[in-house]
Structure formats: structure tokens, C-alpha cells
Amino acid sequence: MNAAARIGFLGGTLDPIHLGHVSAARAARAALALDRVEIMPARIPPHRPRHPCASAFHRFAMAALAIAGVDGLLVNDTELASSGPSYTADTLLRLHGTGLSRSQIFFITGADAFAEIATWSRYPQVLDLAQFVVISRPGHPLVELPSRLPALAERMTRDRAVRARGHSSIFLVDANTPDVSSTEIRERIGRREPLAGLVDPAVEGYIVRHGLYGAAGI
């Protein structure tokens, strides 16, 4: 493996993956000159009250369809192959076990999710297992993060350089990502409404073909 590789990892339930996820991955790769971004569907998301609606198999397949042909993006089954909840700290430690250092791992998350970082397992230690990339989300501008997370403000930066010493960085990336959520998509499917502009057409076809989220018959 290239010792200088900079690799992004974007996790989440992806139930289903939508254009917002793909847009965030592409924005992070462009802003930080990442060699690639790997999309990692979670097996059991720790912050959700119930299991995903679609199986791990279906969510992995939809992720693969969503990024097919997108330069620099691929799918990673690290979290799906593990047992138990998909805690970020555990995932990052597994990535360390593959030979990657924290300076090479860029964990990508939305500003809305990162605002709740204090509730994550093994906080604040988890922040020193990787570089964190926080993408702006509609209704969640990055300008608010330093005041919401004052203890982390010093780490936040818009530069692309990784610190040689000390704590890992929190890279802030402004991006014009679509205002869409997986919950909204599932609700639209339940109402028999179209998904144009929300998910990749191949993902929509897969959902209908397999009758996911109550899509049978539409």
C-alpha cells in the first residue's frame, strides 16, 4: 500500500444510500485531494432505535450501484463483516490493523452528525484515531460548529495539510449537497411518490425490483 495514500471513509446506515451521500464523498475527495473514498454501510448503527429496514446485503448492493462509474469511489464491507453495532472507534481501529495510520484515514461525516460527536462511543479518544472531515449539510452550516463544540474549535481547519504532531485535525468542507435524507426517501416510497433527484436511477430500480421499503407493485 502507498504509504502516502490519503483515503476517505464514509459510513452510515445508507438505508438507502442517496445522492447526498455520494455528493458528500465527492466533495471530500476533491477538497482534500484524497486518493479514493470508500463507502461503508453499517451493519448495526448504534444511534438508531431499530435495525435498518433493508438487509446488509441490499444496502451494500445499493451502495455499489450508487457509485458505479464514479471516479475514486468504491464500496467497503468492513462494518458489514463485523459483529455487533458499528461503532466508529472500532471501525477505525480495524483500519489501523490493515496498516493505515491516522494521518491516512479521513473519516467523512455530515455537520449534523458531527455536532453530536460527544455522544459517540469512546469520545474524545475516537477523534485521534483518524482525521475527521465534516461536510456542511442543508440547515447545518459549518460556521456554527466552533460555538457548538468549543472544546474542539482549535482542531477545526479549512487547510488540507495533516498535522505532523499533536491531535488529529477536523477538516471543514463547505459543499452544496442535496437536501435529502434516507427517512424522506422511505416515506416517499410509502406514499408511492417518485424518487427522481433523490437517489441514483439504478438504486431506484433496485428498490422497486426487490420490493424494498414497501415498494412492491409500484
Question: For every one of its 218 residues, what pLDDT tens digit does the chain have, with 9 covering 90 and above?
Answer: 556 899 999 999 999 999 999 999 999 999 999 999 999 999 888 866 668 999 999 999 999 999 999 999 999 999 998 888 889 999 999 999 999 999 999 999 999 999 999 999 999 999 999 999 999 999 999 999 999 999 999 999 998 888 767 789 999 999 999 999 999 999 999 999 999 999 999 999 999 999 999 987 55
pLDDT of residue 181: 95
Q: What pLDDT does residue 13 have?
A: 94
Beta-carbon contacts of residue 71 (< 8 Å; ≥ 6 apart):
none
Count of beta carbons in the 10 Å neighbourhood of residue 53? 17
HSE (CB half, 13 Å, CA atoms) of 8? 27
Phi, psi dihedrals of residue 121, rounded to the nearest 5°: -60, 135
Confidence at residue 215, expressed as pLDDT on a 0 to 100 scale = 84
Residues 6+ apart with CB under 8 A from 154: none
* Cell numbers found for residue 205: 430500480
Q: Please state the pTM of the whole predicted model.
A: 0.94
* DSSP H helical ranges for the chain: 19-32, 56-67, 88-97, 111-114, 145-148, 182-190, 201-210
Question: What is the model's pLDDT at position 166?
Answer: 78
172 neighbors 140 (Cβ within 8 angstroms)? no
Domains and CATH numbers, the chain: 7-214 (3.40.50.620)
**Cβ–Cβ under 8 Å, residues 130 and 106:** yes
pLDDT reported for residue 16: 98
Q: Which three cell numbers stand for residue 79?
A: 462494518
Neighbours of 161 (CB within 10 A): 9
